[in-house]
Amino acid sequence: MCGIVGYVGKKQADSILIEGLKKLEYRGYDSSGIAIHNLSGIKIIKTNGRIKNLEQRISEKRIEGCLGIAHTRWATHGKPSDENSHPHSNKSSTIAVVHNGIIENYMELKEKLKEQGYEFISETDTEVVAHLLDLHYKGNIVDALIGTIKELKGSYALGVLCKDEPDKLISVRKDSPLIIGIGKEGNFIASDIPAVLEHTKDLYLLSDNEIAIITEQNIEIIDINKNKVDKEIFKVTWDLVSAEKAGYEHFMLKEIEEQPKVVKDTLYQRLKPDSNKINLDEINLDKEVLDKINKIYMVACGTAYNVVVVGKYLIERLARIPVVAEVASEFRYRDPIIDSDTLVIVISQSGETADTLAALRLAKEHGARTIGIVNVVGSTIARECDDIFYTLAGPEIAVASTKAYSAQLIAMYLVSCYIAMQKGYISDEEFTMFRNSLLNISDNIKQILKDENKIKEISNKYKECSNVFYIGRGLDYAVAKEGSLKLKEITYIHSEAYEAGELKHGPIALIHDNTLVVGIATDENLFEKTMNNLKEVKARGAKILAITILGKEEIMDVADDVIYLPKTEWIFTSILANIPQQLIAYYMSVLLGHDVDKPRNLAKSVTVE
């Protein structure tokens, strides 16, 4: 989604802002722009397309100035175009604004502003903010901003410049991410940490409707009633290297290969090799609490949703509590039955996904206990849920989530096992088996990654296919969902995931000569059943790529290609089965010549509905 960077300090702003925007490219965008205060006024340059187009325009007419805001736009209201790009300004160009989010009442505001003589030149919702700031400006830009946000409905992170206040960068957020960077030679605003990391690791995390008044020397934070807000400094613990490619051709491949470490880090913070307990001490899930809980909702979007599907299988199987796994965009509007005996677990890599955040807030409003499984420390979801389990995946830059998924699965296994232990459903012996298998997962993943060349060859063989079905049963189905999502995201090949037993109830009509079916068959108990389903599609001409465990060589009778996974307890194979799926999607995308890390139409952090 849109990216914002702002700077005020001693240095030339344009190059700092452009470099900051480049660090936010992963969020997804289709146009970009910059506004610089050059003491005589505010100069805006903006253009459709990639940041290099903007750089080209800036090199043609450089604007001197040490105060500026910049933006990458991911189109929501109006097509990607120069006019619709940000920054937007008032008619006299004395105020400029960049925005991330959606102003839900913009049509109503636009009509009102038009009646007062304001003219609009873009199709965006953001332009109303520029004109509202103009309407409310009576010599103090902070007052104008307060007056403006009182009229706005929806979500916003805003960066504002005012010609007549040449030392100030003003910012506010509601339901869209924004951080303040505290630098030595100036201060920053940004949508995400990588944009400022080259300059500072000290941040303020703004809460909803807190306003930051930023100058070169000072940062003042106030609330909407102009009361001073004291903020603690948030220290970033990772460095820029973690958010760079480190010699890999793509972030996605780097992140796939980081998984043995990510899995180990996430696991070891909670489960020590010699320990006979999982450490979730600060997450309040003791027996008394759990005995009251009669239902669990697990809510998320996209890849994180595919983790909650795994979670449903695990918790119901291990802890015998009914679980509803649900996509957040549905959950938030369907009036789900929630009360104080409900536990709601939300999962999010970014911790900023608008639908997941709304689902969390709904759950809290109804008195549910909430737990977040989140990757980004200090993100809004992490701050708002009752208890937090941080996955230790580090910054994930590729739009297609890989290492965050594996870390979330580890968290899911730990939480499920912990709940089952608290409820007395897991014996010491079972726990030992569970612990030992989990502690081996990192090495198991390393072993699978050694097969990368074989997986690349398989990807080459099937890269021209136009329809793919991913099928499996039980946990294998949950994994199949993620394989299918990854493939469509970065190869643009149409794919569907189905419960293997469901195929014959309709979808099998689509199987014909050379349709690719990826069959996940790692569950010993369901292996024969899935084999039968693979035979059914084989008989109708499908090509079959099977993912199974070592020892199940009989699958070669039906499959055209087989990827074997190292042996582990069946319940953990879902973590392993996904690794080849990620590599298949990655290599197919590379071989097809796509932009792997920045697939079309997608954004890394979906901060609007």
The contact set with ligand M6R (CB under 6 A) reads: 301-304, 348-350, 353, 356, 399-401, 489, 602, 605-606
| φ and ψ at residue 188, rounded to 5 degrees | -135, 160
Q: Could you tell me the end-to-end alpha-carbon distance of the chain, in angstroms, rounded to an integer? A: 11
C-alpha–C-alpha distance, residues 281 and 251, integer Å: 34
> 400 — phi, psi (to 5°)?
-75, 120
Residue type, 195: A
Closest separation in Å from C-beta 328 to ligand M6R: 8
302 vs 336 by CB, closer to ligand M6R: 302
Helix (H, G, I), strand (E, B) or coil at 546: strand
The distance of closest approach from Cβ of residue 304 to ligand M6R in the complex, given in angstroms and rounded to an integer, is: 4
Respond yes or no: is residue 552 known to be catalytic.
no
- Locate 562 and state its tokens: 């087989």
- Residue 370's closest CA among 333, 392, 354, 361? 361
Encoding tokens for residue 79? Answer: 């097509």
Q: Which is nearer to ligand M6R, 346 or 537 (CB)?
A: 346
Q: Is 22 one of the catalytic residues? A: no
Cα 120 from Cα 134, distance rounded (Å): 13
Surface-to-core class of residue 102, CB atoms within 10 Å of its CB (0-12 exposed, 13-18 middle, 19+ buried):
buried
Tell me how crowded residue 220 is: count the other CB atoms within 10 A of its CB. 13
Long-range (24+ apart) CB contacts under 8 A made by 424-430 are: 425/318, 425/319, 425/320, 426/318, 428/276
Residue 329 CB, nearest approach to ligand M6R (Å)? 10
- The nearest distance, CB 193 to ligand M6R, in angstroms, is 14
**Residue 320 φ/ψ region, left for φ over 0, alpha for ψ in the -120 to 50 degree band, beta for the rest:** left
> Would you say 259 or 356 has its CB closer to ligand M6R?
356
Gyration radius of the chain over CA positions: 25
Nearer to ligand M6R, 6 or 177 (CB): 177
Catalytic entry in 2, 162, 385, 417: 2
The catalytic position among 22, 46, 598, 604 is 604
CB of 495 to ligand M6R, least distance (A): 14
- Of 321 and 409, the one with the shorter C-beta distance to ligand M6R is 409
**Number of residue whose CB is nearest ligand M6R:** 302
Q: How far is the CB of 396 from ligand M6R (least distance, A)?
A: 9
Whichever of 125 and 482 has its CB closer to ligand M6R, that residue is 482
So which residues are the catalytic ones? 2, 604
